[in-house]
Structures are given as structure tokens and as C-alpha cells.
Amino acid sequence: MNSISAVALKSLIAESRLLEADGFGPKVVESPDGKVIHKLFRRKRWLSSALLRPYAIRFWRNAQRLQRLGFATVNVIQVSRCRQLGYHLLSYNKVPGQSLRDLIKEAPRIEYFVELGQFVARLHRSGVYFRSLHLGNLLWDDQQDLALIDIADMRFYRRPLSVSERLRNFRPLLNRVEDREIISRECWCVLVDAYVEASAINESLSRTIYDLGGQLRPASLT
């Protein structure tokens, strides 16, 4: 892990384009040339798991594990620590593409939901539990594949996910109002159909996953 001074970190932030912030300050910035994303991690509580396992390190290791499993994700350039300001800085090459959320807002095409269902099935078969599984953290990249971003919060198992883990992992897809507004019941059924076909799961689980979309609005696909 590299060290970065407070002066250097503040200069980097000032020269970059702000993408995301919270009450503590900038969280994500983009380099002036648009090629590199810098994520800032700040430990919010003195006693927390981040003391022993900083989120920046988790993010970096998760990226390595995902790549070994064959998933498209971010390519981390370096991880730095600013002791003076209490930040970790993680820098990675910007993944070219558009978020699945933005694409579906433009046009809810069948192919997006088929691809998403197959992709989630592949994650679950590989033992990957991605807690932040929502449309904003999935990019449709230049190769027409789905790529994972914002990957600090996930677990890896040496087995496929269990029935209960699979069901719990579907819920974040519908947790956000902005996603429920653009996923129709028809879209959800297409997604689950693709997942079931790729997973060969039992009928009880598949029916329960279908039922999660029962409150979604009806709409047509393009």
C-alpha cells in the first residue's frame, strides 16, 4: 500500500471531477482525462471491522477474486493511505460502458433482463454473494457484457450459494425505488426465467423469486 500526503490528496480531489459525495465529503472523483476513478474510503467509527480490514483493501482483493473467476470488473491501479486525514484512496481504470439502470431507463429491452438473469445465475454458481447487487452497480460494457463495480461489500464461498442466500441476494435488485420504477412485472419474469434456466433451481425457490416482483407495475418490453 502506498502513502499519500494530505496536500497531495487534497490536490488530487481539487483537480478531479466530483461524481459522488456524502456528509463527510467527496466519495468518488474522476481524473481530468476521464480515464481513472478514485474512490475515497473513510472509517466512520473508531471501532469497526474496517480497522483491521479497510474497505479499500477489501475492494482490491474482491476485484482480484472476481477476475480469477472470469467476471468483468474494475482493474485496480493502486491503493494509498492518507494517515493525516484518515482516508484510504483506491484508484482504478474507468470501466467503459453504461450502467444497466441508465440503459433500462432509456429502453427496457428484453436482452438486458435475459443477460442479467444469466449473470446473476453465474455469480451464484460461482459462490459470489454480492450485497450491493442493484442496477447502478452493473455496467453494460463495450464488449456487450455485464461488469461489476462498487465491489467492496461481497462474500465468496467455495460452493454455489444456498437456497436462502440466493433468495436474499435477489432482494437488493428491488430495494431501490428508482429501480422498482423501471423494472416491470414482465421484465422481472424475463429476468427470473433466464436465471431459472441457467441455474436449474427447484420449483419452490423459483416461484418465490417470481413472487418478489408481484408489486411491480405492468409494462411492455421493446
pLDDT tens digits for 50-86?
Answer: 555 789 999 999 999 999 999 999 999 999 999 999 9
Give the domain-ending residue among 39, 58, 93: 93
Q: Is residue 218 part of a domain?
A: no
Same structural domain, 108 and 206: yes
Same-domain status, 180 and 207: yes
In a domain, 75, yes or no: yes
Task: Looking at the structure, tell me whether residues 89 and 103 fall in a common domain.
Answer: no
Q: Are strands 97-99 and 138-141 parallel, antiparallel or unpaired?
A: antiparallel
CA distance 69 to 120: 14
- Given 30, 63, 93, the domain boundary residue is 93
In total, how many domains does the chain have?
2
Write the CATH number for 83: 3.30.200
From the CA atom positions of the chain, what is the Rg in Å? 19
136 in the same domain as 50: no
Q: Quick one: CA torsion of 197, 202, 205, 211, rounded to 10 degrees?
A: 60
Name the pLDDT band for 47 (thresholds 50, 70, 90). Answer: very low
The answer to whether residues 39 and 90 touch, using CB atoms and an 8 Å cutoff, is yes
User: How crowded is residue 29: how many other Cβ atoms within 10 Å of its Cβ?
Assistant: 23
For residue 185, the tally of other CB atoms under 10 A from its CB is 15
Decide if 65 is inside a domain. yes
Q: What is the pTM of this model?
A: 0.88
59 and 135 fall within a common domain: no
Calculate the average pLDDT of the chain. 92
In a domain, 74, yes or no: yes
My answer on whether 88 and 114 are in the same domain is: no
Instruction: Name the domain boundary from 68, 93, 118.
Output: 93
| Surface-to-core class of residue 132, CB atoms within 10 Å of its CB (0-12 exposed, 13-18 middle, 19+ buried) | middle
Dump pLDDT digits (tens) for 105-155. Answer: 999 899 999 999 999 999 999 999 999 999 999 999 878 789 999 999 999
Tell me: pLDDT of 222 over 80: no
Q: How many CA atoms lie within 13 A of 66 on its CB side?
A: 28
Print the domain residue range for 112: 97-212
- Indicate whether 176 belongs to any domain: yes
CATH number at residue 206: 1.10.510.10
CA distance 20 to 17: 9
